[in-house]
Amino acid sequence: MKYRCETKELDIGYGGAPLASGITLGAVPGQILALIGPNGAGKSTLLKTLAGQLAPLGGAVLLDGRSLTDYTGPARARKLALMLPHTRRTELTSCFEFAAAGRIPYTGRLGILSDTDRQAVRDALELVGASPLAGRDFNCISDGQRQRILLARALCQQPEVILLDEPTSFLDIKGKIELLTILKELAHTGQLAVILSLHELELAEKIADTVVCVSPAGVSGVLTPEQAFQPENIRTLYGLTEQQYTALFGTPEPEAEKAPAGKPQFEHYVRSGQKLLRCGYTTGTCAALGAAGAARLLLTGREPETVALRTPKGIVVEVAPIYCRRTDAGAVCAIRKDGGDDVDVTTGLPVIASVVLEPDAPGVRIFGGEGVGRVTKPGLDQPVGEAAINHVPRRMIAEALEREAENAAYTGGFAVTISIEGGAETAKRTFNPHIGVEGGLSILGTSGIVEPMSQQAILDTIQLEMNQAALRAKNAPGPRRLVLAPGNYGLDYLAGALPQFERFPVVKTSNFIGDTLDMAATAKFEEVLLVGHVGKLCKLAAGVMNTHSHTADGRAEVFCAHAALCGARREVCAALMDAATTDACLDILDGAQLRAPVLESILAAIQMHLDRRAGEAFRVGAVLFSNQHGPLGETKTAKELMQEWQN
């Protein structure tokens, strides 16, 4: 079989230990190869390596039987195109002009279009159904229209292989179907070899001719769709329990466990841009609903078809239990957790309330059963040793039982045990072990409602870590000191390059650097050291304190601006603006002998913005590194702090 693009024992990553090794795959003309797997497993990294944006850590990428490194940049671009999600704003650029950038492999960087080039752009726009958009401002069209223009730009390269990273992101279902239909037509009639990553498994199963599974455990060989989408493979690939798989893909449940037909499903929506996203409800809401259902069965003798409550947010949740039945001691009622459109590992898990009447003991006693964790560290919502059922869910459970008692004229008390089926296993894939909840999941929720794409859960976790860090620092001699790291890269660098500072409390900020600094001020820390990858922290030089790429991705702009301040020539600035990664920016600066002054300028800007955010609450500095280039430098205050902390 002749492959347009293939790999030979390929190792991928960003330096150091490979993210995945020994990858062997091939893309055939006229077929679509789908990459599936969980976030962070390496799909984007693999695509960027196939495209030549990242150098392999081992092995090789072959294009028409020749190593990718044998091709010049323009020659490679005439054979292979990469379509990435577009996040960079373009000023005063029409859709025609944006698509025409795909002709650069033929025109050179000056981009002067011949009649042939212009016709190629028109043909590409027509092929993707975007001809009416040609004169529109690229910034003023919808997400679906923007994806069509991005695809047209890729097709303007007239490639034999096209690589697409999550091309259906931000599209509604109609837009997704339209885009994938175009890709299918391009592959099957145009004899393109298409390699794309997709999160929507139902769509991937329909469009893919072959499939490669990418997971933290490794990368599979090329599979047929029948092999790849076997339930057991999908469960293993995404780490799903049987209940979660059932909730997501509708595997038939036993008749006794089915919710009664025609009963209400919870529907509440929030708007995110142009989309409506369905909310879900928390494990705390599930626990309270289950307790109400079990109590009603005991007090009335009737199995409830539905149970309902008003959440602390004021929204009523009414659902049908999975089951509600008597036991030897009392009754149990199970409610299936529903996270709505939010990405939530607990979605689909049964939250089970076991209720026993205590006629001679008024009040409500609440216990944690199987699958509910125990608190092992101070600083959390509950004391050490208690079940990880937070105070708001405890109040919701008590209030739900009190309402059932009042309705039935019952004056006694209740003992209720909350369990989560599959909770212990699922907890291993959460923050729980890190923050001090062992053996299961937490029963959470301050509002009772899960809002999709909400940042609150992450911020709550950061706050918990900050509380624990404050407790550690409270009894330490000298100033209250804190180390911050955006993620695992920062933690790994801290352990490898700065192990002497691991004795101080460490908090992961994720992308919420500004919010974490605010929390540090509230916790009365006096000295803060931020350690992070240049790809994240360079954004601080522009005053960007939420470093998520969807919020602001100004990495190239930061490097370009500071290079210009340091006297970089126009072509160097243009190359920086065109660079795909900060490591690529550093390579460009090395070639221009400008790395040192540009980094010094960026570090000074980072220090200025950190000082502005901290005010006079504490001293703060930043340490920058790159996985490829190693240590890059420290801000002025960071140098001072590191010297003081070593003494």
Q: Write out pLDDT tens, residues 301-317.
A: 999 999 999 999 888 89
Q: Indicate whether 17 pLDDT > 90.
A: no
Confidence band for 395, pLDDT divided at 50, 70 and 90: very high
Would you call 627 exposed, middle or buried from its count of C-beta atoms within 10 A (0-12, 13-18, 19+)? middle
Dihedral in degrees, nearest 10, Cα atoms 131, 134, 137, 140: 0
User: Residue 620: which residues within 8 A CB-CB, separation 6 or more?
Assistant: 517, 527, 528, 529, 530, 610, 611, 613, 614, 637
Q: Residues of 386-408 as b/e, b for ≥16 C-beta within 10 angstroms? A: ebbbbebbbebbbbbbbebbeee
Task: State yes or no: pLDDT of 173 exceeds 80.
Answer: no
Q: What is residue 12's three-state secondary structure?
A: strand
pLDDT at residue number 201: 87
Which of the two residues, 139 and 23, has the higher pLDDT score?
Answer: 23
- Tell me the C-alpha distance between 90 and 232, whole Å: 44
Which residue in 400, 564, 379 sits closest to 474, CA to CA? 379
User: Do 367 and 352 contact (CB within 8 A), yes or no?
Assistant: no
Per-residue model confidence as pLDDT tens digits over 316-332: 899 999 999 999 999 99
252 pLDDT band, cuts 50/70/90, is: very low
Residue 47: the pLDDT is 93
SS3 of residue 20 by DSSP: strand
Average pLDDT over residues 240-253: 65
In this structure, of 264-268, 421-425, 478-482, 577-581, the range with the lowest mean pLDDT score is 264-268
Per-residue pLDDT at 264: 52
Mean pLDDT, rounded, for 633-642: 97
In the chain, what percentage of residues exceed pLDDT 90?
61
Kindly report the average pLDDT of the chain as a whole number: 88
C-alpha closest to that of 21 among 2, 1, 49? 49
The answer to whether residues 614 and 545 touch, using CB atoms and an 8 Å cutoff, is no
pLDDT at 550 > cutoff 90: no
What pLDDT, on a 0 to 100 scale, did the predictor assign at position 337? 95
Q: Count of CB atoms within 10 A of residue 109's CB?
A: 11
- Helix (H) or strand (E) segment spanning residue 271: strand 269-272
pLDDT above 50: residue 259 = no
The H or E element spanning position 461 is helix 456-474
Find where tokens 């509708």 sit: 250
Residue 546 DSSP class: B
What pLDDT sits at residue 71? 92
Segment 362-385 shows an average pLDDT of 90
**Is residue 433 over pLDDT 70?**
yes
Taking 90 as the threshold, does the pLDDT of residue 163 lie above it? yes
For 217-234, how does the pLDDT look when each residue is reduced to its tens digit (9 = 90+)?
889 999 998 899 998 899
- At residue 270, the pLDDT reads 66
Asked if the model's pLDDT at residue 447 lies above 80, the reply is: yes
CA distance 425 to 482: 32
Burial (CB < 10 A; 0-12, 13-18, 19+), residue 564, is middle
Query: pLDDT at position 570, please?
Result: 96
- Please state the φ and ψ torsions of residue 458, each to the nearest 5 degrees: -65, -45
**Cα-Cα end-to-end distance for the chain:** 65
